[in-house]
């Protein structure tokens, strides 16, 4: 395949947008520059007024396979990723059975090779069945390529078990990702403890539940000489905890999810379960602080925590409904609509935090739009619009507050190697 993308503005993780054409031949970017000519048999894409950027990478997704394929599966989840400009993902292990052994990892990776058009990586459990007591088959999973260990969905409640796992797995080059909360404080995990929980008459989960566990897990990792990644941070104090530990020299990274940047407890309104997630949406002040932390680099990654649930489940009462929001179809467009159009952030930050750094964390090569690099890029129309209808969404589930909304921005082209994965 020979493809020439003409007239776009190229985004990179450092610096402003630069005008340039991009020539791709046999899956490799062979030329970047202005006014490139089209060799014979070249498909030309008009990107005038559009952004040409490295494809995104999501280091926190739930594909529900095996065990809950009625919510999502690898085939639909990866198509949702492509739909949102994402060409690589890391699955979380809270499936049924849990991804806690070489046998389950092998079946996941074989399934992904059969049904996915993009690379799928998986994390592995820290403990067997995520039960928090006995270590999982860590070395066997490592031999199949697993580098991230997490009991995501829950913390490892026993600090001695977590420290033991860190001391065992760190010499293998593996690292740990922590879902942080203290179960005894979290209550029913329904929403933030504060004025909205009091108004709705539901026991809330205080931010200190997350913050106490976060400090504990980073402290354990620092003592054990381990790398630790803090997942889906939701509070300003949690963010400041991470900043402090980084200053102290701890080997810690952290992610923020689009929904914790955009929404807060006030959005729940009349018990709207589309805004029910764990950790819960906090306050408008937390939104503002987290966005500043993203700009300052306290947060290394943007990750969606893509968490599909069926409509039937989400239509239960607020406490009974499961936590979670889908994100792969919507993340890039919503980030553009909310923050790029208002000049809060630029494309350089999106590329760094939602493309380059997630790949680096996983030990993968980044995919800049540069000569001699493999082609793995998107064309994004900032003047276009995206309506998040059931027909548009590729995820099996549609539990998103964006359903039925039209946002500014549109993913128009996704290229990986010699294949056009998406062309609108």
Cβ neighbours, 10 Å, residue 210:
29
**Residue of 73, 300, 305, 337 with catalytic role:** 305
User: Quick check: bond before 258 cis, omega within 30?
Assistant: no
CA distances to 60, 182, 232 from 211, in Å: 20, 9, 12
Residue 372, judged by CB atoms within 10 A of its CB (0-12, 13-18, 19+), counts as exposed
- Placement of tokens 């860190």 in the chain: 166
DSSP strands (E only) in 137-227: 148-149, 175-178
What is the widest separation between alpha-carbon atoms in the chain? 68
CA–CA distance, 260 with 116 (Å, rounded to integer): 29
Backbone torsions φ then ψ of 26, nearest 5 degrees: 50, 40
Strands 406-416 and 419-423: what pairing? antiparallel
DSSP 336-348: IIIIITTTSS-HH
Q: What are phi and psi of 203, to 5 degrees?
A: -60, 130
Is residue 196 classed as helix, strand or coil in its secondary structure?
helix
Cα 386 to Cα 214: distance, rounded to the nearest angstrom: 36
Q: Which H or E element spans position 263? A: none
Token pair for 180? 């942080």
Cβ–Cβ under 8 Å, residues 59 and 121: no
Angle at 221 (CA atoms; ends 220, 223), nearest 5 degrees: 65
CA angle 332, 83, 403 (to 5 degrees): 70
Regarding beta strands 301-302 and 252-256, do their DSSP bridges make them parallel or antiparallel, or are they unpaired?
A: parallel
User: Which tokens go with 79?
Assistant: 């198509």
- Mark whether 329 is an active-site residue: no
What positions carry a catalytic annotation?
Answer: 305
């Amino acid at each position: 395949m020979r493809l020439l993308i003409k007239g776009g503005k190229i985004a990179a993780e450092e610096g402003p947008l630069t005008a340039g054409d991009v020539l791709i031949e046999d899956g490799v970017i062979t030329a970047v520059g202005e006014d490139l000519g089209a060799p014979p048999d070249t498909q030309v894409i008009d990107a005038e007024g559009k952004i040409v950027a490295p494809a995104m990478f999501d280091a926190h997704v739930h594909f529900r396979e095996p065990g809950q394929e009625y919510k999502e599966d690898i085939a639909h989840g990866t198509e949702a990723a492509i739909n949102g400009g994402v060409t690589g993902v890391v699955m979380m292990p809270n499936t049924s059975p849990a991804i806690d052994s070489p046998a389950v990892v092998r079946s996941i990776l074989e399934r992904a090779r059969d049904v996915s058009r993009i690379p799928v990586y998986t994390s592995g459990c820290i403990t067997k069945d995520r039960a928090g007591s006995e270590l999982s088959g860590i070395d066997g999973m490592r031999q199949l390529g697993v580098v991230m260990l997490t009991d995501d969905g829950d913390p490892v409640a026993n600090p001695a078990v977590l420290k033991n796992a860190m001391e065992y797995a760190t010499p293998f080059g593996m690292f740990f990702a922590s879902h942080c909360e203290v179960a005894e404080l979290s209550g029913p995990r329904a929403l933030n403890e504060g004025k909205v929980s009091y108004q709705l008459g539901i026991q809330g989960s205080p931010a200190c539940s997350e913050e106490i566990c976060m400090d504990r897990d980073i402290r354990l990792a620092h003592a054990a000489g381990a790398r630790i990644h803090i997942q889906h941070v939701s509070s300003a104090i949690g963010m400041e905890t991470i900043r402090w530990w980084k200053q102290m020299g701890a080997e810690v990274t952290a992610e923020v999810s689009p929904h914790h940047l955009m929404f807060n407890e006030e959005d729940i309104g009349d018990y709207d379960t589309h805004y029910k997630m764990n950790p819960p949406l906090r306050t408008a002040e937390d939104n503002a602080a987290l966005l500043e932390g993203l700009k300052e680099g306290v947060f290394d990654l943007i990750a969606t925590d893509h968490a599909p649930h069926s409509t039937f489940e989400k239509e239960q009462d607020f406490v009974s409904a499961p936590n979670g929001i889908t994100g792969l179809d919507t993340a890039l467009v919503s980030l553009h609509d909310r923050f790029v159009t208002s000049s809060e952030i630029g494309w350089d930050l999106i590329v760094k935090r939602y493309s380059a750094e997630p790949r680096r964390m996983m030990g993968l090569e980044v995919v800049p739009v540069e000569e001699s690099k493999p082609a793995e890029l998107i064309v994004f129309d900032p003047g276009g619009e995206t309506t998040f209808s059931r027909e548009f969404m590729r995820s099996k589930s549609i539990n998103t507050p964006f359903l039925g909304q039209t946002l500014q921005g549109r993913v128009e082209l996704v290229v990986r190697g010699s294949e056009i994965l998406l062309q609108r």
